[in-house]
Structure 1
Amino acid sequence: MLSRFRPVNFRPIRVLPVRSFTTSFVRFNNNVGKKPETNETSNEETKRRPLSRVAIGGTQDNKKFRAPNSIELASWRAVVILVILGGFGTYLLSNEKEKIRLQKEAENNRGVGKPLVGGKFNLIDTEGKPFTDENLKNDEKIFSIIYFGFTHCPDVCPEELDKLGEMLSILDKDKIKLQSIFITCDQARDSPEVIKTYLEDFHPSIIGLTGTYEAIKNCCKKYRVYFSTPPNVKPGQDYLVDHSIFFYLMDSEGNFVDVIGREVDSEEGAEKIKKYVDSFITAEESEKRKEGWLGFLYK
């Protein structure tokens, strides 16, 4: 009986996992009616960001990279400007201090009350015209430089007058005028005509002065100039005059400023004169500055 039946071929049935089907079904239901995702979400997020995070008229890149560079550049500019202003201020302050020092030095050289060097004198020039201490004063702030000597001097006087001419030429390049004066210590032989001829070998602007023995002696005494002639000199006899060797610098108010000795060359002498001329202020101006808010610097 059993042989009549043929075995039936069953095909295996694949059973899907319950978890996978359930998960897929849930995802399908959740996505029903929804639109596909786009870039609008990211755009909305950008729009919703606080305005303070985004520079007006700029982007996030500008804020991240350009702002620090601008600040750094501005800082460097500020540093450079401060350095320049500081250096310029230091230069002005040191320059002003040097001028004040020279002004005080000149005032100390004048002395208190009676001047240490300088004073009234009465001589004549090579044209026979009177020349006094009043001729040293002027409103153009022109200084005077005075040298005492004599025309028969064999070496020292010619050397010093040559140096005077060089100083005048140097100062002329800087547009500084100086009244240069030669006063003889030998009135017996140095007449106006002799002095005029003698000075022709030197700078043309040098003014020659002479006078009586008493007038010259008085002038030398006022300027603290030592001079002496040999006693018992006969007429026509040759002799030498011993005298001090200095240039006396006087300001435009007729006050003594400083001396320039033989050891100073023409360039150093011209530079010294230039500094005094540049720093010069009148007595009236000095008093006004002492009463100003920077008056403590001038006292």
Structure 2
Amino acid sequence: MTRMFALFAAAAAAIFGLAAGWAWYMGAGSGDRFADCRQSVAATGAATIGGPFTLTSASGARVSDADVITGPTLVYFGYTFCPDFCPTDLSRNAVAADILAERGVDLGQVFVSIDPERDTPEVMADFTASIHPDLVGLTGSPEEVKAAADAYRVYFRKAGDDPEYYMMDHSTFTYLMAPEIGFLEFFGSDVGSDGLAERVACFAGKL
């Protein structure tokens, strides 16, 4: 992780933390049915995270957010060449999904690439299959990817000049979304699979 990304991540966490406290205070007194599920939420009511997108699936099909967010769904932005956070976070999400499946809760998993130059549908298919059979991989044109990332307030930047082995600096939050409602919660990399499953179960029980 570069020093710049480390500083960005710390600043982002601080901003989300401040927003969390305010949103919890506002939600607790506003009749928000999810208030007791929220721990680090950045917004209540009309959320500012998330929005419509159209991208390309690992099978090459064009899909929208409505096609892939059909129930409680974890959305993560990263890239397949990522050496650390992406495979770790996505594997954590997959374990949480399996825990919830045993409890009768269907949790969707979506992985959006922020590196469309290398992450073709074929590359995404191989990568997602190695993480979990139900993980939906999405890519697209640079413009489509940027639009989706902007909607989710995702930071990303190409790092390095090597045309093949460059890295991508990026934020590493996992977003919990739901159809018609939109953004519910976000999770940092420090949340374990058991804790994530418990918190998602709380939301799922109120949908």
* 1:191 aligned partner, one-letter code: T
Alignment CA distance shift 1:196-1:250 (3 Å): same
Q: Give the Cα separation in 2 of the matches to 1:122 and 1:258.
A: 22
Rounded to whole Å, the distance in 1 between the matches of 2:90 and 2:36 is 26
Residue 243 of structure 1 and its aligned partner are, at CA, apart by 0.6
Q: How does 1:211-222 map to 2 (within 5 A)?
A: 211-222=140-151
Where 1:262 maps in the other structure, the secondary structure is: coil
**Quick one: distance in 1 between partners of 2:36 and 2:56?**
32
Aligned partner of 1:6 in structure 2 is none
Point out where structure 2 has 5 or more consecutive residues left out of the alignment.
1-30
- Partner SS for 1:176: coil
Change (3 A) 1:163 1:204: same
Counterpart AA for 2:118? R
Q: Which residue of 2 aligns with 1:146?
A: 75
**Aligned with 1:256 (options 163, 166, 183):** 183
Q: Specify the alignment match of 2:23 in structure 1.
A: none
Aligned residues with identical type, % of pairs: 32
User: Hey, which of these two has a bigger chunk of strand by percent?
Assistant: 2
- How far residue 157 of structure 1 moved from its aligned partner, in angstroms, is 1.0
Alpha-carbon displacement from aligned partner over 1:102-145 (angstroms, at most 9, x marks no partner): 48999982554xx410112110101111111222554xxx2111
1:264–1:137 Cα change, 3 Å = closer
Instruction: Give the AA of the match of 2:60.
Output: G
Preserved contact between residue 78 and residue 86 of structure 2 (Cα < 8 Å) = yes
Match 2:156 to one of 208, 217, 227: 227
AA aligned opposite 1:101: A
For residues 219-278 of structure 1, the C-alpha deviation after alignment (integer angstroms, 9 at most, x for no partner) is 0000000000037x454x311101111110001325100001111100000000000110
Q: Secondary structure at the match of 2:131?
A: coil
Structure 2 residue 43 is matched with structure 1 residue 116: no
| Aligned ranges 1:124-135 → 2 under 5 Å | 124-135=56-67
Kindly state the Cα deviation for residue 101 of structure 1 after the two structures are TM-superposed. Answer: 2.5
Between Structure 1 and Structure 2, how many residues are aligned?
A: 177
Q: 1:230 to 1:102 in 2, by over 3 A?
A: same
Q: Which has the higher helix share?
A: 1
2:206 to 260, 279, 293: 279
The structure that has the greater radius of gyration is 1
The one of 87, 90, 102 aligned to 1:161 = 90
1:270/1:213 CA distance change after superposition, 3 Å: same
Q: Which runs of 4+ in 1 moved over 6 A?
A: 103-108
Unaligned runs of 5+ in 1: 1-96, 281-299
Structure 1 Cα separation of the partners of residues 38 and 82 of structure 2? 36
Question: Which residue number corresponds to residue 167 of structure 2?
Answer: 240
Residues 102 and 136 of structure 1, relative CA distance in 2, 3 Å threshold: farther
Q: Is the 8 A contact 2:38 2:185 kept in 1?
A: no
Counterpart among 136, 139, 149 of residue 207 in structure 1: 136
Matched-pair contact (CA < 8 Å) for 2:68–2:110:
no
- Superposition RMSD in Å: 2.5
Residue type at the aligned position of 1:134: A
